[in-house]
Chains A and B, each alone.
Chain A
């Protein structure tokens, strides 16, 4: 049998590339690869807009298909319940003609955080960016969702400076009633709140346990020690706070293009250290506390992560009220000069 160029291309990409026949989407290009699937750019033919389409890899073994499909559907549902400007919105979920599960989400045009930082030299600008990331994570925590994979590669910055937290594939949903860690049968389990409206009546998203294929999931350097130890059942918001601390340290130490590596201020270093403390009891209790400390630093106020010496307090006081202090000094100097002149 002779294979035409067109058939050749189909066969080369065919086994993995999603077969979008029967859907309203047209495949445009491959964007990125994730842990369990690939993200493509696709055109929504009905709404005439570009979307990002995440689709599972073809399962290597028959038993894997169900697990991965469940995880992808779960990720889509996690996103669906997180309607926030800082979290990429999901448009829909479905099954391809070849049986693979996919979901579509907003196509984010922008840069990954690590790339974006190359263009931002100012520490206050970086801190304001970090606060927007904190807003999105705090919102997710308020909805009882832990991200569990916060890192520069999973943060996108749009053309207008908008921040989007991406890739919620490892997210963990805490039980809403207590928001406390529960003991699960599976030590590598993710808890999922029962959902009576599930369209997938028999899938395990309705139950409480989704396994992570027996492996520790996360990214070294950004993953909390308890997550790295595989204590999945006992994870709480402080695990994401550890990741935020590591993220903040990265954001403040990454040099912009053409400039030297910035020096980390002691207060900021203390904030990073507190957020990313080995012992989770020593970390901030929630993301708002972390945000508050960063905001206080930006406003020239003392931060809770560090006790200042009198000298440092004076310096900070001077920096904060420099204009008024200089004004007062100028006034006093003028008064003294005036008195001296009049005494003559």
Chain B
């Protein structure tokens, strides 16, 4: 330690303890010959004298502080109602990282199902235009990779369209359910409808098998003279 460093250290320590006679003598002698340490000693004495005077003995917040704080607390208390009662957890960084990863995975999985199924884009399969005064034959086609013993197909008619059938119970109904099985390969379920009047009408079908639901949307656009039949398929979803 240099002589000046030792002197500066002693100057600082003198605040905390009484210096030994030898230390005090050294400081006195060194300060008398070293202008830098003499200035440091003077500065230290100035600081020591001024410090206790910087803060008044009793410092109080400015007038109006309590009122302003009260207003802020009222303003924030609305936020407190929902915010404060949330459970608080403390995580270590590693735990937090794992939690964030899990959350991201969950969001990803949810997004996959949400976007792939619930916001499904219908896919156009066929489109044809037929005379409006004739019955319209529609074929629902399902490709089965193996024999499926239990299949339930439901056809629901929207407004403006009715079943065309020799059986009154079918012709007069708005919905028809068929239960049976699919063989391996293509399976076709034909049915006939009649459009009553001009407009855009819908038919919704769903086939439930092997835990999934396969849906079709049929749009019938009638001008009164012709009907354009567009058959759409929706991506399958798990059975509700």
A and B associate: no
